[in-house]
Structure 1
């Protein structure tokens, strides 16, 4: 009968260990990618949070960061379990992979619900936020977010540039602009006095459609990443099971 050392050094065992270590490397990279997307959402797109009454957008970013950290931690557990060849640690690793896999399914359902809620919120609140709070005292974050939104997405107003005719700021007697300067294709001071299509984003459509498209594209990217990670997890769980069966029971 072959000894334990002989068994653990067989070609099959070595291949399993290297495959599992490779899987953990990919899993780490995936976790880092998820964390990076979460941080990017908070840093680069945080201005848009002020345009939404709900906390869905910011909460999703924090969830991504937390999920990425859990994935990285799970990868460390996997490496330790593989290198030490401990069946008990492999069980813990398998359970962690399974839990993350189930959480991804739940997160996918919540992401779909989140998009539906955000869509309704944008339809009902974006125009009101723009016309009531733009350039108002104490609403500097709203003003900055609206300006960034209109310039980044090349749009003007919620549904169209005509939305600004109801703006509290536009209707102020001391203001002679027809639209904010951020509606202009080439922004400059007082360029909003002229609302001709050659000067502003008048025929390009409102911001609400473009913001909805942006949010949907973000969810699609997250969905693709989640599917990729889920596939990796299934492969990892199969490898863990194979390595577990190849190892003898630990002696106590």
Structure 2
């Protein structure tokens, strides 16, 4: 039985390190999805008949994506360290499916960006309106996440006393020019769409390299075992 070359050994450990980081990231994504689902402050959002479809879909996508990332990371780590062609083959297949799904989702999102923008803005308006009427903790935490993520406050930027404590802290002139969340959402889907696209392309490139390295290692392992 032959041994792997120095370069192939480097590919092996690089693939292991990459997938270990990928597995840790998947653990974090899964933990976030489960926290959103079961935390007492947000759980009420999913247990009511009028639960928001956008929020529900996003939360379940987080859980599914985190679980899939953990599975893929595990296969990549074990396949590399144990030099298992079977696990590396599964790792390649999963990465290929994820890459195809990412590409399809990106194309769909780009073609339906106006509808997505309108749906997200309506989701925020409805959440804000219901929070004003009910003061539910679940709605409060949802608004807080949106406000701090987009650095905005309220639909129009008017900071009311009822939402002041869940908005980013403003000082000086910023108090007079606080950005409204509806316009902030519009900005994300229009002016910052190229950034989102760039991140998606970057992730896709990393996946392509992961698939190439996994096939290189898989072929090297088979070749070394067949060598007499």
Please indicate the TM-score interval, normalised by the length of the shorter structure: 0.5 to 0.7
Structure number with the higher helix fraction is 2
The CA deviation string for residues 37-76 of structure 1, in whole angstroms up to 9 with x for no partner, is 6568777x969x79x9851233123212321221121121
Match of 2:67 among 62, 66, 69: 69
- Number of corresponding residues: 211
CA distance in 2, matches of 1:146, 1:245: 48
Give the TM-score of the pair, scaled to structure 1: 0.58
CA distance in 1, matches of 2:192, 2:25: 17
CA distance in 2, matches of 1:149, 1:248: 49
Residue 181 in 1 paired to residue 132 in 2? no
Shift in Å at residue 155 of structure 1?
4.1
CA distance in 2, matches of 1:18, 1:224: 28
Q: How does 1:29-40 map to 2 (within 5 A)?
A: 29-32=24-27, 34-35=29-30, 38=33
Q: Supply the RMSD in Å over aligned alpha carbons.
A: 4.7
Residue 28 in 1 paired to residue 8 in 2? no
Match of 2:100 among 78, 99, 102: 102
Shift in Å at residue 240 of structure 1?
1.5
Shift in Å at residue 87 of structure 1?
2.4
Give the TM-score of the pair, scaled to structure 2: 0.63
Larger radius of gyration: 1
Pick 1 or 2: higher relative contact order, CA cutoff 8 A, min separation 6. 2
The CA deviation string for residues 184-226 of structure 1, in whole angstroms up to 9 with x for no partner, is 79x9xxxxxxxxxx9x966545442134446779987765654
Equivalent in the alignment of 1:231: 205
Q: How does 1:32-71 map to 2 (within 5 A)?
A: 32=27, 34-35=29-30, 38=33, 54-71=52-69
Equivalent in the alignment of 2:78: 80
Unaligned runs of 5+ in 2: none
